[in-house]
Amino acid sequence: MNYNEFINTYNGKSFDYDGVSEVQCVDLIKMYLNKVFGLTPGAWGNAKDYYENYNNNSILKANFDRIANTPSFVPQKGDIAVWGAGPGNTYGHVAIATGEGNASNFYTYDLNWNSKTVHKVQHNYKGFLGVLRPKDQSKIGTETVVENNSNKEEFEMAKKWTNGNTNEDVYADVNLTKKIGTIYPRGEAECYGIINGKYLVCYNVYSGNTVANKKTGFVKYNGGI
């Protein structure tokens, strides 16, 4: 079973995977680990512990990379998104990212978040720790499960995009897994649209001071337009 098959099978369903404390958010993650990655999850603590105790969990370390949240970070499709403890919530929260979003908010599939069934939720980054990203991306695929076209914006004419003060990686795919180049600080490009919160840009490639070629790809910096 891959990511899309998992979502299509369990979206709208309710289940208690481990038979502990009835339906909890970690039940979705345990089912995901088992059905998609063939892993047998154990009693690994609360939701926040999937991130905070990552270094002590040999199964998670062998199969996932832990990536911390930053101001420009956007979870990728298939990532296990983890929130820490907060006021009124000592356990944290955990969900599965869809790959849709930007630096302000993003979407996940959740269990036990205002519902005891799996459903799609828009989150902001308050209390967000980061993600566990599957090392085996063949189980995820590059296409995002899309329920409508609201995550896609095309421009009638290209808009000017200007990079910020740091290097911006450019990727061949909207999930930002295949790096193809770099746009340097304050570099400019033409932006042709926004897909899943990623900006499709065309930028110059230089040889010395001469434009030698052009490249097109996706970037995540959303302050450029």
133 and 167 both lie in a single domain: no
Question: Which of 95-104, 126-135, 139-148, 152-161 has the lowest average pLDDT?
Answer: 139-148
Threshold 0.85, pTM exceeds: no
33 and 84 both lie in a single domain: yes
212 — pLDDT class (breaks 50, 70, 90): confident
8 A C-beta contact, residue 82 and residue 75: no
Q: Which residues pair with 128 in a beta bridge?
A: 83
Question: How many domains, in total, are found in the chain?
Answer: 2
27 and 111 both lie in a single domain: yes
Question: Which of 97-111, 150-164, 211-225 has the lowest average pLDDT?
Answer: 150-164
49 and 26 both lie in a single domain: yes
107 and 44 both lie in a single domain: yes
209 — pLDDT class (breaks 50, 70, 90): confident
177 and 110 both lie in a single domain: no
Question: What's the CA gap between 23 and 28, in Å, rounded?
Answer: 9
- Residue 149, pLDDT score: 45
Question: What's the CA gap between 174 and 41, in Å, rounded?
Answer: 30
29 and 135 both lie in a single domain: yes
Tell me the average pLDDT across 203-223.
Answer: 88
- Residue 147, pLDDT score: 46
Tell me the average pLDDT across 32-51.
Answer: 94
- Residue 187, pLDDT score: 93
Question: What's the CA gap between 115 and 54, in Å, rounded?
Answer: 27
Beta strand residue intervals within the chain, DSSP E: 64-68, 80-83, 93-101, 105-110, 119-124, 128-134, 152-162, 168-171, 179-183, 188-195, 198-207, 210-219
Question: What's the CA gap between 178 and 184, in Å, rounded?
Answer: 18
Q: What range defines the domain where residue 67 resides?
A: 3-139
Domain assignment present for 225? no
Q: Is the pLDDT of residue 151 over 90?
A: no
